[in-house]
Amino acid sequence: MPSPAVNAVTETGRDALPAWEARCKSLGLLITVPRRAILAAMLELGTAHDAVTLLQAAREHHAATSLGTVYRLLRELEQLGLAQVQVPAHGRCHWRLHDSPETTPEQTPGNVRSMLKQVQHFLSELEKLGFAEAQPAAHNSVAVPMSSLPSHSPVDPTVDLLQSIAERFGYRLA
């Protein structure tokens, strides 16, 4: 029997930590004892805090937690869309776990799916402006090796790269 989906964002109290661990694991993040301590500290503190404050709180759960581990985990959580960083004009960065169900890894900056959608939108906008045209659907499904794509000019490799990307999405630059 498949296990029920875990919504770590809405879990509270003693269920929150296991839910966040499951969410992290489902995205390929290894949960070690220090990382579990950092997650527990972030859940207990609730609001955004700097890495030093998180380290101090995490050490209450696991004394051997290091500042380097805190920073590495925060960076990974941010890249996976599980945490966000708040950068004040002057001072230390503050991190917090996402608490909004609308925030998913697909919506985070740097996510490949998000970037693909942005490229498709960009090509669609270029088509509206007359700078690109959509190719027939049969052409879209054919994977074209990069080496076989036509070259516009040896002087401007950027145009070649843009044309290659456009063709992969079923467009031709005008």
| Among the listed residues 16, 19, 14, 17, the one whose alpha carbon sits nearest the alpha carbon of residue 3 | 19
Residue 5 carries which side chain, given as an amino acid letter? A
| Structural domain of 96 | 13-104
Contact between 132 and 166 under an 8 Å Cβ cutoff? The reply is yes
- Of 104, 123, 140, the one marking the end of a domain is 104
Q: Do both 78 and 54 map to the same domain?
A: yes
- How many C-beta atoms surround the C-beta of residue 59 within 10 A? 17
- Of 104, 128, 158, the one marking the end of a domain is 104
Q: Do both 86 and 118 map to the same domain?
A: no
Q: Do both 84 and 25 map to the same domain?
A: yes
Q: Do both 56 and 130 map to the same domain?
A: no
Find the radius of gyration of the CA atoms of the chain: 22
Q: Do both 140 and 100 map to the same domain?
A: no
Element (H, E) at 163: helix 157-168
Tell me what the mean pLDDT of segment 58-73 comes to: 93
Number of domains in the chain: 2
- What is the rounded distance in angstroms from the CA atom of residue 172 to the CA atom of residue 164? 9
In this predicted structure, what is the pLDDT of residue 144? Answer: 43
In this predicted structure, what is the pLDDT of residue 111? Answer: 55
Tell me what the mean pLDDT of segment 55-74 comes to: 93
152 confidence band (pLDDT: 50, 70, 90): very low
Q: Which residues contact 54 (CB under 8 A, 6 or more apart)?
A: 38, 41, 42, 45, 70, 74, 95
Q: Do both 156 and 80 map to the same domain?
A: no
Q: For the full predicted model, state whether its pTM sits above 0.75.
A: no
In this predicted structure, what is the pLDDT of residue 54? Answer: 93
* pLDDT tens per residue, range 153-165: 555 777 777 788 8
Q: Do both 57 and 121 map to the same domain?
A: no
Tell me what the mean pLDDT of segment 43-62 comes to: 91
Q: Has residue 3 been placed in a domain?
A: no
pLDDT at 79 over 80: yes
